[in-house]
Amino acid sequence: MDFSLSKEQQDIKMAAREFAEKEFPQVAQECDENEKMDMALLKKARELGFVGTHLPEEYGGFGMSYFEKALITEEFWRMDPGVAQSILSVTFGSEIIVEHGTDEQKKKYLPHLIQGNGIIAGAITEPNAGSDVTMVETRGVRDGDEYVINGSKMFITNGTLADIIILFCKTNPEAESRHRQFSCFIVETDTKGFEANKLKNKLGIRASDTAELSFSDLRVPAENLIGNEGDGFRQILTLFNRERTAICAQATGLAQGALDQAVSHIKQREQFGKTIASFQAIRFKIAELATLVEANRSIFYRACWSLDSGQEDHTLIAMAKWFCAQNAVTITQECLQMHGGYGFLNEYDIARFYRDCKILEIYEGTKEMEKQVISNAILGKAN
Ligand SMILES: Cc1cc2nc3c(=O)[nH]c(=O)nc-3n(C[C@H](O)[C@H](O)[C@H](O)COP(=O)(O)OP(=O)(O)OC[C@H]3O[C@@H](n4cnc5c(N)ncnc54)[C@H](O)[C@@H]3O)c2cc1C
């Protein structure tokens, strides 16, 4: 067992760190306040090769492993979760095209995400279908060489920015198994019948766009169906595993960033004639939090390894996602506490991290859903 990073992996991590340290602090506060991503920064990140790293080389990507991608995610989230998410999420959903799309679909849609200005969104959640994705009501009905789509989606990252959307909808309500009723399509957002409205005033990751979408009699060519009718549920499960490991990296980066801020603050701030860092209660707290960050790192490395080695472990990934997210929330709360009243001011980064961390326990499966996956694996499904 070798836990060390290769020279190439160390270089990827350091390059991501340097870029984030140099660029993110300048824009983080403003992006948060204005709820906008910085398009110039996205362009720079693309030029430097930080976007779409997991995409195959033949389609313009770098063919990096999920672990290497996670190293970039961790470093970006350490400096600013909102800015990091706004940059790295622009390829969210592309994994479904990579793993289940045809050559034509890959050639048509993937290179633009890296070399062009392309942005993709993955649209699964609906107003009445969140944790239970089988409640999805958006319909895709075949009509000659096209499908007609009607319905709506909720909380879609990059919804108002994306030029293509991976749409999860119901095509086969008659299928006996609920899991065979759904399909995924590639939808171009300049198609008639598409509408996106930005959801404003989010608690955290405000630089990242979130929207509600509607589809009314929108026509998609049948060639934009991914795989076969009825494959959609299986396809989004593979996407969840990839994104959940990414969220472990997000959580670890965010927690490390919060800890760095706390360490810096307590070394400067003096009370009772000494720095706060000299009080044992605080020192022990730092020891505990640093240990939790390392525990996060260990389990997320292992979750990535399960993906990259072809031994995808659904239960381990659910464990890692729940554990890393929970630790990130705990760590960030304690790190804000060490800032005292200053942590309560929005001009301090820790206040923003505190708002940002909560999303980790909600998206890509809430913490309760992760525990359901884990307990089902141990105990079998409850009747
Ligand atoms: C900023 C943001 C970005 C997002 N991006 C995307 C995106 O790009 N694409 C996309 O498709 N979705 C996206 N989502 C949606 C996200 O995945 C859902 O919000 C999440 O899956 C939870 O669904 P819900 O909000 O409907 O909550 P609900 O499913 O209504 O759950 C509410 C609460 O009840 C609990 N609960 C539900 N069922 C059970 C049960 N059986 N046992 C115990 N507890 C239960 C949940 O854990 C949760 O705590 C995003 C959400 C946010 C906030």
Q: Quick one: pLDDT band at residue 114, thresholds 50, 70, 90?
A: confident
The Å distance, Cα 246 to ligand 1 centre, comes to 17
Choosing from 74, 95, 212, 364, the catalytic residue is: 364
Cβ–ligand 1 contact at 230 (below 6 Å): no
Can you tell me which residue has the tokens 């789509």? 149
pLDDT of residue 9: 97
> 264 in helix, strand or coil?
helix
pLDDT of residue 2: 85
Averaged over 306-332, what is the pLDDT? 97
pLDDT of residue 124: 98
Per-residue pLDDT tens digits for 66-111: 999 999 999 999 999 999 999 999 999 999 999 999 999 999 999 9
**306: nearest Cα among 293, 318, 292, 322:** 318
**123: nearest Cα among 66, 196, 60:** 196
| Secondary structure E strands in 199-290 | 210-221, 225-226, 270-271, 274-275
Q: Quick one: pLDDT band at residue 52, thresholds 50, 70, 90?
A: very high
Q: Indicate the class that CATH gives domain 7-93.
A: mainly alpha
pLDDT of residue 99: 95
Percent with pLDDT over 90 in the chain: 98
pLDDT of residue 116: 85
Residue nearest to atom 25 of ligand 1 (CA): 130
Residue nearest to atom 35 of ligand 1 (CA): 368
> 187 in helix, strand or coil?
strand
Question: What are the residues facing 169 on neighbouring strands?
Answer: 183
* Cβ atoms within 10 Å, residue 177: 10
Query: Where does 120-231 sit in CATH, by number?
Result: 2.40.110.10
Where along the chain do its domains lie?
Answer: 7-93, 120-231, 234-379
- Cα–Cα–Cα angle for 220, 224, 230, nearest 5°? 100
State yes or no: is 370 an active-site residue.
no
* Cβ atoms within 10 Å, residue 348: 17
Query: Where does 234-379 sit in CATH, by number?
Result: 1.20.140.10
> 155 in helix, strand or coil?
strand
Structure tokens belonging to residue 59: 């389609």
